[in-house]
Amino acid sequence: MSRRHRTTTQPPWPVAVPAVLALLFLGLPLLALLIRAPWGQLLSVLTSPTSLDALRLSIITATAATVLSVIVGVPLAWLLARAIFPGRRFARALVTVPLVLPPVVGGIALLLAFGRRGIVGQYLDQWFGITLPFTTAGVVIAEAFVAMPFLIITVEGALRGLDGRFEDAAATLGASRLTVFRRITLPLIAPSLVAGAVLTFARALGEFGATITFAGNLPGVTQTLPLAVYIGLEGDPSEAIALSLVLLAFSIAVLVLLRDRWLRTGTPA
Amino acid sequence: MNSNALRFNACIERAEFSLEASLTVEPGEIVAVIGPNGAGKSTLLRSISGLVPLTNGSIEIGGVTVDDPARGILSAPEARRVGVVFQDYLLFPHMSVADNIAFGPRAAGVGRRHARELAADWITRLSLTGLADRKPSELSGGQSQRVALARALACDPAVLLLDEPLAALDAGTRIDVRAELREHLASIGIPTLLVTHDPLDALVLAERIVVLEQGRITQEGLALDVARRPATTYVARLLGLNLLPGQADDGHVTLTAGGELHTAQRNVSGAVLVAVRPDAISIHTSPPSGSARNVWRGTVEGVEPIGDRVRVTAAGPPTVMADVTAASVIELQLERGTQVWLSTKATELEVYPAGGTAPQ
C-alpha cells in the first residue's frame, strides 16, 4: 500500500457532510459500547463460569477451524493458483460463495449435508456413529465453512503473485517438487499465509449464524462468545457488553497484527 | 569430440515462435549466444535446464541424453546436472548466502554439516568471505552474482548456463564484475554457455560466439572473427559497423541497395559483404579533394551523440553511419536534411564472401 500524499484542497460541503456522517455512523456504536461497558465489574463478569466457558470454547473452536482451514485450504489454494484442471473457474467461484452467503443459510446447508438426516450425515451416523450437529466439532465445521475462504483467497493471491522463477531456480539446483514447495514456496508465501490464518481466525471467532443453526447453543459445548453475547442480552446485558468488549479487543488486535506486520511488509502485491 | 560436451541439436515449436539450432560446447569452452530480444536465447537455456521440453531433436549433458522426444526421454530439471546463473540471480530472499549456496547439495541429499562445509568452501573460492550470514537483499550486484555462481557450481554441474549475467548491474560496476566473472569462468572446466544481448559481454567472456536471430543461428565463430566480419546487419549494427551487401568483381563492389565502392581487395568476387567502421567515413560539405577513392553524396538523416563522438546517419546510396567529432558537427552545421559528401578510403573496407559463417 502506498502512502503518497496528494495535495488536497478544502473538501466541498456536499462531500464533507456525508463523509463526516459516515464516520460518525461507524464510530458511534463502538463508542457507545465503550461508554456503557460495566468497567467496574468487568473482571467479575468475565470470570463468571458462563463467560469463561464461552471464551474457552471460542478460542478452541476458532483455532481448530483455522488449523483445519490451513491443512486443506493451502493445497486447494495451490491447485487454484497453479494447476490447470477442468472446472477450475467453477471451483474458484465455489470458494467465494461462503463469503457472500448469509451464514444462517450456510448453517442450514450444513445441516442438510452433515445433519443426522443429511445426505452425508446419515451415513456418518449409521456407519461410524458420528453426529456433528449440536457438538463442539459441529461448531468447528460451521466456523471453518464460513472462514476458510479467507485463507484460500489470501494464499492463492500470494501464490499467484510469487515469482515462479524462484521455484524454477530451485528445480535446476536439484530440488524435488516437494522440497521446492517446502523450502521455497512456503517460506516465500509465509507472510500471506499468516495474514490469511489471522483473518480466518478472526472470522471464525465472530461466527454466529451458521454456528447457532448447525450446532445450536449449548453452554459449554457449542455456546461460543457471539452466542453468549446474544443470549446474555436477554438476561444480563452487562455480561453481553463485557463479552462484546472481548470480541472488539480481538478484532482490534487482528487489525494491528495485519497492518503493522504482515499486510505491509509481507504480501506480494 | 568429448563425451562431456554439451550437445544441443534440437527444435522447439511454440505458438508463434520456433527455435531450431545445433550447438556443441566442449568442456572448458565458453560460448556466448548473442541475439536480439525474442531471438530464442532464453528458450535455448530453459530447454537445456529442463524448463521447456523439446519438440524434436536431442540434448546431451555430460554424456547423458536428457531430452529426446523420439526416444521418449525427458529428464526433469532436478534430474539434470545443470548449473544456472539466472538473470537477476534469483537468490532465495529468505535464506542467507551460505544457505543459498548449500541449497543444491542439501537437495541432493548431502548432510547439513557437509553442505555447510561445501558452501564455506565456495564462499572462499569466490571471495565472499564474511558474507556467509548476509541475506541477498544486503548484497551488492557483483556479490549477488558471485553467490549465484557459487550456488550453481556447488551442485557440481556438468554444464554451466548463464542468462544475461551482467544485465542486472549498473554500468559502473559492470566493467569490474565482467572482468571478475571472466576470471572465475576460466577455471571451471565444464561447458559454459552464456546468453547476452551485450556484444561486449560476449567478446570479453567468450571464446566463441553464436549469433541467434529469430530462432536460427545466423553466424557462429571465434569472437574476433564475428566482430570483424559480421554476417548479418544485426551483428554489424550491434558492433557499430556498417555492413553493405553487394556483388564484387576485381576490387569493385556493386552494392545491392545502390551505389558502388572501390576496395583494396581484388581477390574476392561474387556475393560479398563490405564492412566499414563508422569512424572510417568522413563527412564534407563540399566535394572532397583528398585521396579517398570512394566519394558519394548523401543527406543527413540523424545526428546522435555516442560517447565523445557524434554518430551521423546519412542516406546515400549507400546509406551509412559515420562518426565525427562534436566540433565538426558544429563546423559543418550538420542537421537533418543537410546535403553532404561522404568519403572513405578503399583500404578501410573489409570485404568478405556473404552467406555462411565466418571461417574458424
Among residues 32-71 of chain B, which lie with CB inside 8 Å of chain A?
49-51
Distance from CA of B24 to the nearest CA of A (A): 21
CB contacts, 8 Å: B144 with chain A? none
- The ranges assigned to domains in chain A are 41-161+196-265
Q: Where does chain B hold its CATH 3.40.50.300 domain(s)?
A: 6-234
Question: A169 in contact with B at a CB cutoff of 8 Å?
Answer: yes
Q: What share of chain A in percent tops pLDDT 70? A: 93
Among residues 133-152 of chain B, which lie with CB inside 8 Å of chain A?
151-152
**CATH annotation of B6-234:** 3.40.50.300
Question: A166 in contact with B at a CB cutoff of 8 Å?
Answer: yes
Distance from CA of A240 to the nearest CA of B (A): 45
Name the pLDDT band for A1 (thresholds 50, 70, 90): very low
Confidence (pLDDT) at B311? 80
Inter-chain contact B78–A172, Cβ cutoff 8 Å?
A: yes
Q: Where does chain B hold its CATH 2.40.50.100 domain(s)?
A: 240-353
- Is the pLDDT at B236 greater than 80? The verdict is no
Question: B82 in contact with A at a CB cutoff of 8 Å?
Answer: yes
A8-40 residue pLDDT tens: 678 888 899 999 999 999 999 999 989 988 888
Question: A187 in contact with B at a CB cutoff of 8 Å?
Answer: yes
Vertex B240: Cα angle to B232 and B272 (nearest 5): 35
Q: Between B174 and A201, whose confidence is greater?
A: A201
Give the residue-averaged pLDDT of A54-73: 95
What is A41-161+196-265's CATH number, 2.40.10.220, 1.10.3720.10, 1.10.8.60, 1.10.1660.10? 1.10.3720.10
Model ipTM value = 0.73
Give the residue-averaged pLDDT of B63-75: 90
Give the residue-averaged pLDDT of B10-28: 88
Give the residue-averaged pLDDT of B23-42: 89
B182-212 residue pLDDT tens: 888 888 889 999 998 877 788 778 889 999 9
Q: What is the interface size between A and B, counted as CB pairs within 8 Å?
A: 59
Most confident of A5-19, B14-28, B231-245: B14-28
Distance from CA of A172 to the nearest CA of B (A): 5
What is B240-353's CATH number, 2.40.50.100, 2.40.50.140, 1.20.120.1200, 1.10.3720.10? 2.40.50.100
Distance from CA of A166 to the nearest CA of B (A): 6
Question: A171 in contact with B at a CB cutoff of 8 Å?
Answer: yes
- Beta strand B192-196 with B159-163 is parallel
Inter-chain contact B77–A168, Cβ cutoff 8 Å?
A: yes
